[in-house]
Amino acid sequence: MIDFSLTENQLAVRDMTREVASKIIIPNIAEHDRAQTMNPDLLPAMADANLLGFCIPEQYGGLGMDYISLGLASEEMEYGDTAARVILSVHIGLFSLPVLTWANEEQKQKYLVPAAKGEKIATFGLTEPAAGSDAVGLLSTAVKKGDKYIMNGEKMWISLADVADYFLVFAWTDLEKKKIRDHTGISAFIVEREWEGVSTGAIHGKLGVRAGNTGFIAFQDVEVPAKNLVYKEGAGFKIAMFCLDQGRYTVAAGSCGLIRACRDACIKYSKERQTFGVNIEEHQLVKQMIANMEAGYEYSTYLWMKAGWLKNQGKRSTRATSLAKWIACREAEASSANAVQVHGAYGFSDEYPVERFYRNSKGASIYEGTREIHTLMQADYALGFRQDKELERDLPPVEQE
């Protein structure tokens, strides 16, 4: 059975997020983007609207919503600004859903509950200065000493690095396996900002996502209690890949928000601007660019929704998520480039939002799996070099109401 309709709960999440985007994000976004600052009202507004944990089960402080709702919220947040959607990507996609799936009960009570209630903010630390696409190339270590691990290393390009209270961090616990790049020597840990030896800093001068915080985290002889190891030693790489399945999903759905923002800005402008004696909406080449945005939005939406449908059933969605992320980001880049084109010289200035859309679109083809990584993954699936086997653990299925 194919059903394209949204449930009442899904529509409620979409409307609530749309309201946050229109009241809190959009009125001030140009100012924050220009000043390269995060809107101080955004996280409190998201927490008040239960947006920081709505798809976490009620027993862990959330609202028990499904994963399609997460996609819809990602789209609406990115319609406001990419930096706002990134909060959902890291806090829910890369931290809370993986903790829900892989952490033990004590860890869930201690870390997931405050994150889901929006009392604490969380992010994810995999990428390093010399290890992005090549995740196994990370250098951070966590060496066991009694009932602690001593963590050293540096994480880079981390969203919310300066803001988050908790970090889900990946480091080598088996130094022999590190030498031969055997991923079963990597483990995952929950690390708290307040611990001695943890420091963070922001990266300035980014091309896009300027209203968001992106930075580094440094670990210098940090004593991580052994009880903060997530799941078991050696499971870190798989947990990291699992995290990315959820983060990439929010990026895919978010990109649809960006495409829609481009389309709407172009429709508005093309009804106001005249050339050659008519509104530019009459020109066939302008129509073509708007038609491409429309098509890109529609098929990218179907792709992330298919991934969300698999997630709702507790089925593995790596292949579908990767395809959705690749295509939606590609369409968002193309749509934003065309949106600048439709606006002509005005699109080249920050008087109109489309130059921000253009700059923001670029990041998503790089973070959470570059377009090249996703292209290779899709080729490998098609050629039979890669298959989605059933995972040891996967997202808990969600009942749809």
If one asks whether residue 38 binds ligand CAA (CB under 6 A), the answer comes out as no
Nearest to 16 by CA among 66, 69, 62: 69
- Could you give the CA distance from residue 106 to residue 266 in angstroms, rounded to a whole number? 50
If one asks whether residue 159 binds ligand CAA (CB under 6 A), the answer comes out as yes
Q: Give every CB contact of residue 12 below 8 A, 6+ residues apart in sequence.
A: none
Stretch that binds ligand CAA, among 97-105, 156-164, 261-269, 339-347 (CB under 6 A): 156-164
- Could you give the CA distance from residue 74 to residue 331 in angstroms, rounded to a whole number? 16
Q: How far is the CB of 329 from ligand CAA (least distance, A)?
A: 12
Of positions 100, 135, 211, 265, contacts ligand CAA by CB under 6 A = 135
CB nearer ligand CAA, residue 238 or residue 311: 238
- Could you give the CA distance from residue 14 to residue 8 in angstroms, rounded to a whole number? 10
Given 75, 154, 355, 368, which residue is catalytic? 368
- Could you give the CA distance from residue 177 to residue 269 in angstroms, rounded to a whole number? 57
CB nearer ligand CAA, residue 65 or residue 244: 244
- Could you give the CA distance from residue 20 to residue 277 in angstroms, rounded to a whole number? 39
User: Which backbone phi and psi does 85 adopt, to 5 degrees?
Assistant: -65, -35
Q: How far is the CB of 157 from ligand CAA (least distance, A)?
A: 5
Token pair recorded at residue 165? 């209270």
Helix (H, G, I), strand (E, B) or coil at 208: coil
Looking at 231-317, list the stretches that DSSP marks H as alpha helix, in order from N- to C-terminal side.
236-272, 284-312
Angle (nearest 5°) at CA 32 between 52 and 251: 45
CB nearer ligand CAA, residue 73 or residue 94: 94
Of positions 60, 157, 297, 309, contacts ligand CAA by CB under 6 A = 157
Footprint on residues 236-265 left by ligand CAA (CB under 6 A): 237-238, 241-242, 244-245
- Let me know if 272 is a catalytic residue: no
Cβ atoms within 10 Å, residue 236: 30
Q: How far is the CB of 133 from ligand CAA (least distance, A)?
A: 5
Of positions 127, 228, 270, 300, contacts ligand CAA by CB under 6 A = 127
- Total site size for ligand CAA, rule CB under 6 A: 27
Query: Binding pattern to ligand CAA, positions 344-373, x when CB under 6 A?
Result: -----------------------xxx---x
Footprint on residues 309-348 left by ligand CAA (CB under 6 A): 318
Q: How far is the CB of 281 from ligand CAA (least distance, A)?
A: 38
- Could you give the CA distance from residue 135 to residue 238 in angstroms, rounded to a whole number? 11
- Could you give the CA distance from residue 81 to residue 33 in angstroms, rounded to a whole number? 9
Q: Report the catalytic residues.
A: 368
Instruction: Give the binding site for ligand CAA (CB under 6 A).
Output: 90, 94, 123-124, 126-127, 132-133, 135-136, 157-159, 183, 237-238, 241-242, 244-245, 318, 367-369, 373, 377, 391
